[in-house]
Amino acid sequence: MKSFDAIVIGAGQAGPFLAARMVEKGMKVALIERKFLGGTCVNAGCMPTKTLVASARAAHVARNSAAYGVNIPGEIAIDMKVVRARAETVTMNARNGLIGWFAGMDGMTVIYGHARFEDPKTVSVNGEMLTAPRIFLNVGARPVIPDLPGINDIDYLTSTSIIYLDRLPRHLAVIGGSYIGLEFAQMYRRFGAEVSVIEHGPKLASREDEDISDAIADVLRSEGIDIHTGASDIAFARSRDGITVATDSARIDASHVLIATGRKPNTDDLGLDAAGVITDKHGYITVDDSLATNVDGIWALGDCNGRGAFTHTSYNDFEIAAANLLDGDDRKVSSRILAYALYIDPPLGRVGMTEKQARASGRKIMISTRPMSRVGRANERGETKGFMKVIADAETKKILGAAILGIEGDEVIHGIIDAMNAGTTYPALQWSVPIHPTVSELIPTLLGDLKPV
């Protein structure tokens, strides 16, 4: 039996940083990872996928350069091996950075292997027993594979395996019209593949308001992506040239199929029963406002707790746990204002409530929208798709939520995120003096157009 002051299981975006903070405090910490340091973000999520998105945008800009007076003779060719190698380099640089960082820490023991609970204070890994009074779970999530007819008869891709693809699909069928699926759909269309998106629900990006979902669909259709919403009876079969994807209303001859129908937590093989840790019906570990589980001395951080499915919320879980356990603070998950982005092009930046949620809350609300075609910076750049939208409380004057689908929307939204976290009222933000010419300069104008609904 090896004893530590703390054991961290999983090396995503919360666990390693918490481990490092504890080591700084003089603690002896074991960090257990079954595969790669960095978790989904570094190895199969944000870093490689956004690198691929950048390559796809470069191809898109090159194809459309003539509109800007830049003539590139010949056809724009894509070298998928180079594209893939570039993404791998970004991942490996980040992963190796973590390896080097941890190697220089006295008190940190990194163990590669599969950890399982033996009791609330003991885990086994590689045949050894480890014990600690504090155990932190940061085990992440993985793609969900739905039980659809014929799915086990085909070779399908997931959001993890598709990033290793080094050749261009003839026709990529994307099953699932949410954030991950849409990013890959546009990416591979820009690389030159035919792309079809098949979504069981009535609209794309179902979390969003209908006007946002419709605008996203318009963006993708304008680039030649075939979209099928409300699809039922989805089934697969091998064909002579690839894979046939059939629905109640369409038949698609695909060369590759990407399953992008959601993710589930990696909690089913941790031996949680032996520790007495409770999960919900979806497998997410139940935590309180401080990220503590029902078992004293065990916490769950990141995607596995169901309180956020993003790199930034996972990192914020680290910040909450470190502040409370190491700094004597009293931070709460419920204080977090949720914000995220969809990295199609143009991107969607989102924070707080949707219009639908705000209306359902019973508040008296105000709404303002503005098309990107009325934003000077967007016109100068020749990228006018999308629109801005903000929702405010008519009585408190606080901003409730916002969506910016348009050029640099993922960056512009931070002005509103900061204002909401600071509790700034919209009239105060309205009188700021932003820089011209930027997309952000339209935020005061957008707020000035708020009208009661």
Q: Where in the sequence numbering do the catalytic residues fall?
A: 436
Q: Which residue has 């979209």 as its token pair?
A: 227
Q: CB neighbours of 283 closer than 8 A, spacing ≥ 6? A: 264, 265, 267, 268
Tokens of 165: 């693809």
- How many other C-beta atoms lie within 10 A of the C-beta of residue 341? 18
DSSP state of 284: P
> 367 pairs with which residues across the strands?
391, 451
Residue 168's nearest CA partner among 144, 131, 194, 205 is: 194
End-to-end Cα, the chain, rounded Å: 64
The encoded tokens of residue 170 equal 């003839």
Partner residues linked to 302 by β-bridges: none
CA atoms within 13 A on the CB side of 312: 7
Could you tell me the two tokens for 140?
């992440």
Distance CA 250, CA 312 (A): 38
Contact between 275 and 120 under an 8 Å Cβ cutoff? The reply is: yes
In residues, how long is the chain? 453
Residue pair 242/253 in contact by the 8 Å Cβ criterion: yes
276: how many CB neighbours lie within 10 A of its CB?
14
Q: Which amino acid is at 74?
A: G
Q: Which residue has the tokens 């794309």?
A: 204
| Tokens 């840790």 sit on residue | 277
Q: Is the peptide bond before 265 cis (omega within 30 degrees of 0)?
A: no
Strand, helix or coil for residue 70: coil
